[in-house]
Structure 1
Amino acid sequence: MFESSPISLYIHIPWCLKKCGYCDFYSYVSQETIPEKKYIENLLKDFEKDLKLIKNKKINTIFIGGGTPSLLKQKSVNNLINGIKERYLVCKNAEITIEANPKTIECQRFIHYKKSGINRFSLGVQTFNTNLLKKIERTYTSSECISCIKKLKTINNNINLDLMYGLPDQDLESSLTDLKYAIKYNPSHISWYQLTIEPNTIFYSKKLNIANDDIIFQMFSKGDQLLKKSGYQKYEISSYSKLNYQCKHNLNYWSFGDYIGIGCGAHGKISQKNGKILRTYKNKNLKDYLHGNYLRSMNIISKQDLAFEYFMNTFRLYKPVSKRHFQEKTNLNENYIEKKIQMAIKRGFLIDELNYWNTTKKGKFFLNSLLKIFLR
C-alpha cells in the first residue's frame, strides 16, 4: 500500500567537458571515455540501498542533474530510467527532467532521451551572447544555442531555459536582449537568476568587470517586468513559467518535501515516522563510489536547524507560508520561533497574518538577510 505523499529522486551525473569559472557544483572534468555503464550500475545499486528509507512512497519526479548529464549516451539514459522503474513504483505521469548543454553534439541525443521517458529538458543557455559565453567559459556558441532550442521544440513542449544576468562585461541592454531571445522561442519555463561568485570557484580570485548594484537591480526589475508582460508567471525567486508548467521537482524542494539523492555528491532528505528528518550525503570520491562505497554520512537535522532549513526553501516561493504546514513539516511549535519571527517583522521582511507568514517585497529582495535571522 503506497502513501499519498510522493517523493522525488535526484540523480547526479558528475562529468563535464570543462569546469566553468563560476561553477561551484560537484563535477569532474573528463576528456577521456566516461565509465557510463559502470556508473549506471552503481547508481542503481545506490538506489536500491536508499529504498529502505522511503517505504510506501511513490516517486513523483526524477531530476537528472550534474555536471553535464547530456554527455550520457541514449543507451545509458535508457538503462538508468528503466532500472529505476524496475526497482520501484514511479508515477505514470511523473515529471522526468534532464539538464543539458545546448551543444550540437549533445542535442542530437535529445530525441533518444525522449524515447527513454525524459519529458522535461532544462537547457543551460546562460546567455545568447557568444562573447559573453566565452567570458564565462561555456563551450558552445549563440548559434548552437538557437539551433538546439529549435530542434528541441520539435521534440518536446516542456522546456526550461537557464539564463543569468550580472555577467562579466554585461550591460543592462545585453541582459534584456538575452531575455527577448528566450521569450521569442516561447519555452514553457525560464530560470532568470543573478551570477554569484562563490569562494570555492575559479572566478573568485579573478578581477571581473561586473556591473554595480544599481545596474544589477535594473537588470532584475526590468527583466522581471518583461517576463511577466510576456505571459510568464513568477512563482519562485528566479523561476517563471507558463500556466501549468512549474517545475514539480523543484517545487517539492521548496515546499520542504522529501527526496532521495543518488550519485557522487548527491544528498537527500527523508521525514521519519517519529517526526525526525534524516539527511543523507553521498560519497564525492568517484573511485570509491564505483567500488560500492555510496554513503558518506547520514544524520538527523537538529531541532535548532529545522526552522532555518524549512524557511530556506519555503521563503523562495511567491506564496504565503502556512503556519500549519510549518508545524506539520518540522514538528515544531510556532512559539519556538516567535522571537525570530518578530525580529523579521520589525526589520520589514515579514508580515504575520492569522494563518500565514508572508514575505514582503523587501524580504524577498534581501532573502539572505531574512534567513540569517533563523540561523542558530
Structure 2
Amino acid sequence: MSQIIPITPTDATSSQAPEQEEVVSSGLTVSPPLSLYIHIPWCVRKCPYCDFNSHESRSEIPEAAYVDALVADLEQSVPRIWGRRVQSIFFGGGTPSLFSAESIDRILSQVRALVPLSSHAEVTLEANPGTVDAQHFRGYRDAGVNRLSLGIQSFDSHYLEKLGRIHDEHQAMAAAELALSTFDSVNFDVMYALPGQTLAHALADAERACQLGPAHLSFYHLTLEPNTPFHRTPPALPDDDTSASMQEAIEDILIGHSYQHYETSAFARPGKQCRHNQNYWLFGDYLGIGAGAHSKLSFHDRITRESRHKHPRQYLQHAAQGNAMDQQWSIPRDELPFEFMMNALRLTSGFSAELFEQRTGLALSEIEDTLQLAISKGLLSRTQISQAPNHVAGAENLSSTTIAPTALGQRFLNELLQLFLI
C-alpha cells in the first residue's frame, strides 16, 4: 500500500465560488462531482443479515461526543477537498434516525460553515420505522434534510420478524405515510427472497409500495453476507428460480406504475433518481466521515481511497487526537477499469466513453479487448450516438459512444465484472 502525502491547496475557491466542476492541472483533467457521506454507526438491534459497520446501542449513545468527532473529522479533511463544492449529503448507518434533530442540525450547520455546499444539494437521511415520529421528521426537515430513505424491508409483520426488524407492518405503514406527508422526496428500501417468502407475498409488498407512491424505490435481493448470523445459520430461502421470478415480476409491477428502472436495485419517478448514489455509480468523488466510513478522492496525478477507524470508541478517540483517518492508499492504474466498471455497470443506461476517460484518466482503448470479449458474450452493448452539430463555423457532427450492460449482463453482473479483473 503506497503512502500518500497530502497536497497543500494552491488554488482555493471561496464558499461563493460558481457551481461548476474544477479543472485540475494534468492527468485527470476535470475533478468529478463531490459528495459527503456521514456514518452514524448505532442501531437498536443489529439485523441478522446486516454486514454494515453498525453496533447495537446497549447503553446510552455518546451523541454529543460523536457529533464533535464528526466535526473534527471534517475539519481534518478540508485540505484534501479545498474549494470543491459538495453536491449531496447522505446520513447512513446504522440508524441515523436514532440521533436527535438538534444533532443533525448541528452537523449540517458545521458542514455549511466548513465547505462550499451546493444551493440545490440533495440531503438524505436513512430512518428506521421503529425509531421515528412526527416531531423527529419535522425536525430533520427543518434542519435541512430534503430526502428521507425509509428502511421498510417488508409490509408483512411475519417477514419483518424473520428479518429481525424492530418494527411491524403497522409501524411500517405509519412511518411511510408520515414520511410522504413531511418530505418532498422519499425512498423506501424493500427486500425480497426473504426466509420462507412466497412469490405472491413478494409481489404484495411491491404493490403496496407502489400504491403509496414514493418518488424512489429500492428493491434488494436478500443475500447471505459473510460474518453475519444468517451466513452462519442460513434460513430457508426461496430457490434461485423463485427468486428470479420475484425479481422479474417486481420489475414489471414497478415499471407498470411509472417507475424507471435506472440501476440494478433502484427505481425512480422521472427526475427523482438518487443523485448521491448516482455520483457513486458514475465514479464521482465522495468524502466519508464517521466510524468506518470510506472515501474516494481524485487529484491531478492519482485517485485515492481512505477509511476511518472502524469501532466507534476508537473513532471518537482518534478524531479528538486529530487523526480520524485510519488508512489511505492510491488505486493502482491497472485496477481502475474494474473499480470504474464495478460502479458504472450497475446503471441500466451505462456510461459514455468520455466519462470513462474523464473519471479514470485512461483511454478507452486500454480496455478494448475486454470490451470486445464482453460484447461477444452478449453481456455488453456499444452504441454510437450522433449528436447535433454545434453552431461554430466548420464544426462537424459529433458522436458519442455509450457502453451499457445488456439484459443478460444485468442479470449476470458479477460474471461481467470479473472480465475486468486483471
TM-score band, normalised by shorter chain: over 0.9
- Taking the aligned partners of 1:53 and 1:44, their CA distance within structure 2 comes to 15
Q: TM-score, normalised by structure 2?
A: 0.87
- Taking the aligned partners of 2:176 and 2:405, their CA distance within structure 1 comes to 35
**Post-superposition offset of 1:331:** 1.0
Q: Could you say which residue in structure 2 is the equivalent of 1:296?
A: 326
Q: Give the letter aligned to residue 4 of structure 1.
A: Q
**Post-superposition offset of 1:342:** 2.1
Q: Could you say which residue in structure 1 is the equivalent of 2:309?
A: 283
Q: Could you say which residue in structure 2 is the equivalent of 1:206?
A: 233
Q: Could you say which residue in structure 2 is the equivalent of 1:341?
A: 371
Once the two structures are superposed, the pairs formed by residues 69-84 of structure 1 within 5 Å of their partners are 69-84=96-111
- Taking the aligned partners of 1:223 and 1:356, their CA distance within structure 2 comes to 27
- Taking the aligned partners of 1:158 and 1:333, their CA distance within structure 2 comes to 38
Q: Could you say which residue in structure 2 is the equivalent of 1:322?
A: 352
Q: Give the letter aligned to residue 154 of structure 1.
A: S
Q: Could you say which residue in structure 2 is the equivalent of 1:306?
A: 336
Q: Could you say which residue in structure 2 is the equivalent of 1:375?
A: 421
> For residues 142 and 305 of structure 1, do their structure 2 counterparts lie closer, same or farther at Cα, with a shift above 3 Å needed?
same
Contact 2:224–2:234 at 8 Å: present in 1 too?
Answer: no
* Secondary structure in structure 1 of the residue aligned to 2:129: coil
- Taking the aligned partners of 1:82 and 1:362, their CA distance within structure 2 comes to 46
Once the two structures are superposed, the pairs formed by residues 18-57 of structure 1 within 5 Å of their partners are 18-57=45-84
Contact 1:70–1:98 at 8 Å: present in 2 too?
Answer: yes
* Secondary structure in structure 2 of the residue aligned to 1:109: helix
Q: Give the letter aligned to residue 404 of structure 2.
A: N
* Secondary structure in structure 2 of the residue aligned to 1:264: coil
Matched, 1:4 2:31: no
Q: Give the letter aligned to residue 224 of structure 2.
A: I
**Post-superposition offset of 1:333:** 1.8
- Taking the aligned partners of 1:32 and 1:206, their CA distance within structure 2 comes to 28
- Taking the aligned partners of 1:129 and 1:317, their CA distance within structure 2 comes to 30
Contact 1:12–1:262 at 8 Å: present in 2 too?
Answer: yes
Q: 2:261 aligns with which of 229, 234, 257?
A: 234
* Secondary structure in structure 2 of the residue aligned to 1:307: helix
Q: Give the letter aligned to residue 213 of structure 2.
A: N
Q: Give the letter aligned to residue 346 of structure 1.
A: S
Q: Give the letter aligned to residue 370 of structure 1.
A: L
Q: Which moved more, 1:352-361 or 1:70-79?
A: 352-361
Q: Could you say what the CA RMSD is over the residues aligned between the two structures, in angstroms?
A: 1.3
Please tell me whether Structure 1 or Structure 2 has the larger radius of gyration of its CA atoms: 2
- Taking the aligned partners of 1:273 and 1:56, their CA distance within structure 2 comes to 15
Q: 1:358 aligns with which of 394, 397, 404?
A: 404
- Taking the aligned partners of 1:198 and 1:234, their CA distance within structure 2 comes to 25
Q: Give the letter aligned to residue 189 of structure 2.
A: D
Q: Give the letter aligned to residue 134 of structure 1.
A: E
Q: Residues 180-216 of structure 1, C-alpha deviation per residue, up to 9 Å, x if partnerless?
A: 1111111111001211111121100113111111111
Once the two structures are superposed, the pairs formed by residues 213-232 of structure 1 within 5 Å of their partners are 213-232=240-259
Q: Could you say which residue in structure 1 is the equivalent of 2:148?
A: 121
Contact 1:104–1:144 at 8 Å: present in 2 too?
Answer: no
- Taking the aligned partners of 1:248 and 1:283, their CA distance within structure 2 comes to 27
Q: 1:65 aligns with which of 92, 96, 104?
A: 92
- Taking the aligned partners of 1:190 and 1:336, their CA distance within structure 2 comes to 36
Contact 1:71–1:106 at 8 Å: present in 2 too?
Answer: no
Gaps of 5+ in 1: none
Q: Give the letter aligned to residue 327 of structure 1.
A: E
**Post-superposition offset of 1:106:** 5.1
- Taking the aligned partners of 2:350 and 2:296, their CA distance within structure 1 comes to 23
Q: Could you say which residue in structure 2 is the equivalent of 1:150?
A: 177
**Post-superposition offset of 1:352:** 3.0
- Taking the aligned partners of 1:133 and 1:148, their CA distance within structure 2 comes to 15
Q: TM-score, normalised by structure 1?
A: 0.97
> For residues 64 and 105 of structure 1, do their structure 2 counterparts lie closer, same or farther at Cα, with a shift above 3 Å needed?
closer
Contact 1:70–1:106 at 8 Å: present in 2 too?
Answer: no
Q: Give the letter aligned to residue 312 of structure 2.
A: L
**Post-superposition offset of 1:104:** 5.5
Contact 2:344–2:351 at 8 Å: present in 1 too?
Answer: yes
Q: Give the letter aligned to residue 287 of structure 1.
A: R
Percent identity among equivalent residues? Answer: 38
Q: Give the letter aligned to residue 309 of structure 2.
A: N
Q: Could you say which residue in structure 1 is the equivalent of 2:209?
A: 182
Contact 2:98–2:131 at 8 Å: present in 1 too?
Answer: no
Q: Could you say which residue in structure 2 is the equivalent of 1:266?
A: 293
Higher relative contact order (CA 8 A, sep 6+): 2
* Secondary structure in structure 2 of the residue aligned to 1:299: strand
Q: Give the letter aligned to residue 278 of structure 1.
A: T
Q: Give the letter aligned to residue 288 of structure 1.
A: Q
- Taking the aligned partners of 2:358 and 2:184, their CA distance within structure 1 comes to 35
* Secondary structure in structure 2 of the residue aligned to 1:211: coil
**Post-superposition offset of 1:23:** 0.3
Q: Give the letter aligned to residue 323 of structure 1.
A: A
Aligned residues, how many?
Answer: 375
